[in-house]
């Protein structure tokens, strides 16, 4: 019985197993079949798509952004974007990063600025690894000479946009990828649009100024950016590495970018790929003779500020740079960043030591206890790495075994321009023979000769030029906020304008009565007063009183028998103004007329004429007020119109509103008016960017 039971059970189990195996076999066969079919489908489509590309003779259609859908409507076919196939294609990456990280990579958006030898490789590898949204930005076209390093360009691509030829390849690699190709130059003025939505930006630009612009822009706008330094003129792949921009050494492009960024206030926080290989005696190759014959060299470049000369490049190097960028960003997107990419040398300790030694040396030199030097650790690295390239200033300019910083000329203060690198022994000799600050013995030129003196001057000059460049750059970057202007006004006023309780009370009373805070600023008020004084104004007309703040300033310039008439629409404003004027002791000199200014003006007589008219009421009526002002002001008298700049918007055709139109109409009228001579003066201050129009009645 027992046996029977067992044999029955065994039979049942065997049947169950048999059935499961058969089902599994069938399922597996079906899955394989289904996959095979999907794969076949995909392969056929890709073949068709490629065939249709190569049969086309029109070079522009061959590089169309969207691959042409095949007759059976490929894009809607489930097989194209089938998740199974995507996962199969990315199987090794899934194995490496796992589901969660791969999901992040696949959601990532990367913008590549510069799609040449570096950017093209980065793009290809990012897409091969699963990045599904990519924007390519480059204004340039494929040339024959770029084929030695480009990831996707072939002979038939010559003369076509670089971004388009990368896009085509990317779509052949991953049918699901979204490529946004922009045949555009990145410029900081419109830079935001091209970077929109980026999780990461790759800077693969070969123009230093644009590169610095882009890095600074990304830094200021909290956009993650990875930058590629100079791959030109190098050949040693073992020296390529990733580090923070602040830790780069030996690479001349990195040095220049680092210096410029540092002077713009960005000293670290940008990962870069660079090489420590010091290029030999490399110069930009001269252009071939026939290129010169085509016309002035400058005209040969696509854009003025882009180089037209040729830098020697060994193809694999930029590609390695691009692959480094892709690797770094993939790990970042995956949430598994490369931890502490190894900088060639950890120089921080060295800079600390150099600074400490310099402090001791300076203490001896000045004979005083010094707690803080006028140069800091950042400057030390600038002097050591950038200015003196880690070498002694003394010929033969060895790499010192014990580098030391010293003040070059003890008769001059310690600055980055008056501080040099020496070997310890040289520094000792220098200090001994130079004497001290109070008792200098001789000049450094006498100690080391005029050739060394020239090196120091040359380096200082280099630094100065760079600073000038940076100052120029900074001007482009300046975004001055209202609070900056307010602080500026406050600072200047603290020297030039005494605290004035009457004016403060006028503002406080206006506020208390709910008047809008649109009176002129303190500095503008003072300007109006000075102006009225300079022309010895006896009769002043004001259009737009508000609480009488500008009125008080102007009236204070009047002599005892002077008079000011001010026109105000609002009875309430006028009443507040009268109170403020009374408090200022100016009631007898000022008459406030209530009503529409146009009507009030029409009733005023030009005899006696006014010396000064200040127009500051409703802007759409500017021209009417100005016309009346001309009638009422004496020859040689002055008309001032406020708010004619309006954040520069008057000049921006995209702004259309009544106030702005009021100013534009006034300007147009004055243009052909022989009776006045006028100019506009920007009055940047605590009220932001605005300006006065200043006109003299001829």
Residues forming the site for ligand SAM (CB under 6 A): 518-520, 544-546, 549-550, 567-570, 573, 596-597, 616-618, 621
Show the tokens assigned to 335.
Answer: 């949430």
CB of 652 to ligand SAM, least distance (A): 22
CB contact at 8 A, 663 and 643? yes
Please, which residue, 320 or 617, has the CB nearer to ligand SAM?
617
Show the tokens assigned to 435.
Answer: 């004497």
Q: How is the beta sheet containing 590-594 ordered, strand by strand?
A: 590-594, 563-568, 539-543, 610-615, 633-641, 691-697, 676-682
CB of 672 to ligand SAM, least distance (A): 26
Please, which residue, 545 or 563, has the CB nearer to ligand SAM?
545
CB of 642 to ligand SAM, least distance (A): 7
Alpha helix segments (H runs only) across 435-515: 444-448, 450-477, 482-496, 501-512
Q: What is the largest CA-CA distance in the chain?
A: 137
CB contact at 8 A, 322 and 122? yes
In sequence order, the 6+-apart residues with CB closer than 8 A to the CB of 29 are none
Cβ atoms within 10 Å of 426's Cβ, excluding its own: 20
Alpha helix segments (H runs only) across 207-347: 208-220, 252-263, 289-293, 297-300, 316-333
Please, which residue, 218 or 515, has the CB nearer to ligand SAM?
515
CB of 689 to ligand SAM, least distance (A): 16
CB of 531 to ligand SAM, least distance (A): 14
In degrees and rounded to multiples of 5, residue 109 shows phi and psi of: -120, 125
Spatial distance between the Cα atoms of 231 and 273, rounded to a whole number of angstroms: 9
CB of 471 to ligand SAM, least distance (A): 36
Please, which residue, 321 or 549, has the CB nearer to ligand SAM?
549
Please, which residue, 434 or 550, has the CB nearer to ligand SAM?
550
Spatial distance between the Cα atoms of 333 and 131, rounded to a whole number of angstroms: 9
Please, which residue, 384 or 549, has the CB nearer to ligand SAM?
549
Spatial distance between the Cα atoms of 651 and 95, rounded to a whole number of angstroms: 58
CB of 616 to ligand SAM, least distance (A): 4
Spatial distance between the Cα atoms of 443 and 457, rounded to a whole number of angstroms: 14
Spatial distance between the Cα atoms of 644 and 666, rounded to a whole number of angstroms: 9
Q: Residues 438, 441, 446, 450: what is their CA dihedral angle, to the nearest 10 degrees?
A: 0
Please, which residue, 370 or 569, has the CB nearer to ligand SAM?
569
Instruction: Report the DSSP beta bridge partners of residue 474.
Output: none
CB of 592 to ligand SAM, least distance (A): 11
Instruction: Report the DSSP beta bridge partners of residue 422.
Output: 404
Spatial distance between the Cα atoms of 233 and 280, rounded to a whole number of angstroms: 8
CB of 475 to ligand SAM, least distance (A): 31
In sequence order, the 6+-apart residues with CB closer than 8 A to the CB of 241 are 273, 274, 275, 276, 341, 342, 343, 344
In degrees and rounded to multiples of 5, residue 590 shows phi and psi of: -115, 135
Please, which residue, 77 or 618, has the CB nearer to ligand SAM?
618
CB contact at 8 A, 506 and 547? yes
CB of 636 to ligand SAM, least distance (A): 23
Please, which residue, 79 or 592, has the CB nearer to ligand SAM?
592
CB of 620 to ligand SAM, least distance (A): 9
Alpha helix segments (H runs only) across 264-347: 289-293, 297-300, 316-333
CB of 514 to ligand SAM, least distance (A): 12
Relative to beta strand 403-407, strand 200-203 is unpaired
Please, which residue, 385 or 690, has the CB nearer to ligand SAM?
690
Please, which residue, 98 or 516, has the CB nearer to ligand SAM?
516
Please, which residue, 114 or 544, has the CB nearer to ligand SAM?
544
CB of 510 to ligand SAM, least distance (A): 8
Spatial distance between the Cα atoms of 528 and 524, rounded to a whole number of angstroms: 6
CB of 663 to ligand SAM, least distance (A): 14
Please, which residue, 249 or 597, has the CB nearer to ligand SAM?
597
Please, which residue, 336 or 596, has the CB nearer to ligand SAM?
596
Three-state DSSP state, 266: coil
CB of 105 to ligand SAM, least distance (A): 57
Helices 316-333 and 99-107: crossing angle in degrees, nearest 10, is 120
Show the tokens assigned to 270.
Answer: 């940008």
CB of 437 to ligand SAM, least distance (A): 55
CA angle 676, 646, 537 (to 5 degrees): 40
3-state secondary structure string across 650-679? HHCCCCCCHHHHHHHHHHHHHHCCCCEEEE
Please, which residue, 80 or 518, has the CB nearer to ligand SAM?
518
Q: Which of 618, 566, 607 is nearest to 587 (CA)?
A: 566
Show the tokens assigned to 612.
Answer: 């000064």
Please, which residue, 85 or 590, has the CB nearer to ligand SAM?
590
């Amino acid at each position: 019985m027992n046996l029977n039971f067992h044999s029955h059970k065994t039979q049942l189990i065997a049947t169950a197993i048999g059935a499961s195996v058969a089902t599994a076999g069938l399922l597996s066969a079906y899955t394989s079949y289904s996959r095979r079919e999907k794969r076949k489908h995909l392969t056929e489509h890709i073949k068709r798509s490629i065939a249709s590309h190569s049969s086309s003779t029109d070079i522009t259609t061959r590089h169309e952004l969207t691959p042409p859908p095949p007759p059976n409507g490929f894009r809607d076919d489930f097989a194209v974007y089938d998740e199974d196939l995507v996962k199969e294609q990315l199987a090794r990456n899934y194995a490496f990063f796992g589901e969660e990280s791969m999901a992040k990579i696949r959601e990532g958006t990367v913008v590549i600025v510069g799609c040449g030898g570096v950017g093209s490789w980065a793009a290809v590898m990012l897409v091969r690894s699963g990045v599904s949204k990519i924007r390519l930005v480059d204004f340039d076209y494929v040339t024959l000479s770029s084929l030695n390093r480009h990831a996707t360009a072939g002979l038939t691509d010559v003369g076509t946009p670089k971004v388009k030829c990368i896009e085509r390849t990317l779509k052949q690699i991953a049918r699901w990828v979204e490529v946004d190709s922009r045949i555009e130059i990145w410029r900081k003025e419109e830079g935001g649009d091209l970077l929109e939505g980026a999780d990461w930006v790759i800077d693969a630009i070969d123009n230093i100024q644009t590169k610095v612009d882009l890095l600074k822009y990304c830094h200021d706008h909290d956009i993650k950016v990875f930058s590629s330094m100079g791959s030109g003129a190098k050949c040693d792949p073992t020296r390529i590495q990733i580090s923070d921009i602040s830790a780069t050494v030996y690479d001349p492009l990195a040095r220049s970018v680092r210096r410029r960024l540092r002077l713009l206030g960005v000293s670290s926080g940008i990962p870069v790929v660079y090489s420590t290989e010091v290029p030999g005696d490399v110069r930009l190759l001269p252009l071939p003779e026939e290129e010169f014959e085509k016309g002035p060299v400058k005209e040969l470049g696509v854009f003025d500020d882009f180089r037209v000369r040729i830098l020697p490049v060994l193809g694999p190097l930029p590609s390695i740079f691009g692959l480094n960028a892709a690797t770094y960003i993939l790990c970042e997107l995956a949430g598994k960043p490369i931890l502490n990419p190894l900088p060639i040398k950890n120089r921080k300790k060295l800079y600390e030591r150099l600074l400490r030694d310099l402090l001791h040396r300076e203490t001896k030199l000045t004979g005083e206890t010094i707690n803080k030097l006028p140069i800091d650790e950042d400057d030390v690295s600038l002097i050591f790495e950038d200015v003196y390239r880690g070498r002694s200033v003394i010929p033969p300019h060895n790499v010192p075994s014990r580098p030391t910083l010293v003040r070059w000329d003890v008769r001059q203060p310690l600055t980055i321009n008056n501080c040099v690198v020496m070997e310890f022994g040289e520094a000792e000799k220098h200090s001994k023979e130079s004497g001290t600050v109070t008792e200098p013995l001789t000049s450094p030129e006498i100690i080391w000769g005029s050739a060394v003196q020239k090196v120091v001057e040359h380096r200082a000059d280099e630094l100065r030029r760079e600073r000038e460049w940076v100052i120029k750059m900074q001007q482009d970057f300046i975004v001055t906020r209202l609070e900056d202007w307010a602080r500026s006004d406050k600072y200047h006023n603290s020297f030039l304008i005494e605290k004035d309780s009457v004016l403060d009370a006028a503002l406080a009373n206006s506020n208390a009565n709910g008047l809008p805070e649109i009176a002129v600023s303190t500095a503008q008020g003072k300007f109006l007063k000075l102006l009225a004084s300079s022309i010895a104004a006896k009769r002043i007309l004001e259009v737009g009183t508000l609480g009488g703040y500008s009125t008080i300033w102007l009236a204070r310039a009047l002599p005892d028998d002077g008079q000011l008439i001010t026109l105000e629409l609002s009875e309430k404003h006028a009443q507040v103004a009268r109170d403020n004027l009374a408090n200022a002791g100016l009631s007898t000199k000022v008459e406030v007329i209530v009503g529409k200014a146009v009507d009030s003006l029409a009733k005023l007589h030009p005899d006696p004429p006014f010396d000064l008219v200040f127009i500051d009421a409703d802007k759409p009526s500017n021209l009417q007020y100005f016309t009346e002002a001309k009638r009422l002001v004496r020859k040689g008298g002055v008309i001032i119109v406020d708010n004619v700049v309006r954040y520069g918007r008057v000049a921006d055709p995209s702004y259309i509103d009544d106030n702005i139109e009021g100013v534009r109409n006034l300007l147009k009228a004055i243009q052909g008016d022989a009776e006045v001579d006028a100019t506009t003066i920007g009055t940047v201050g605590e009220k932001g960017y605005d300006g006065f129009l200043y006109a003299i009645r001829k």
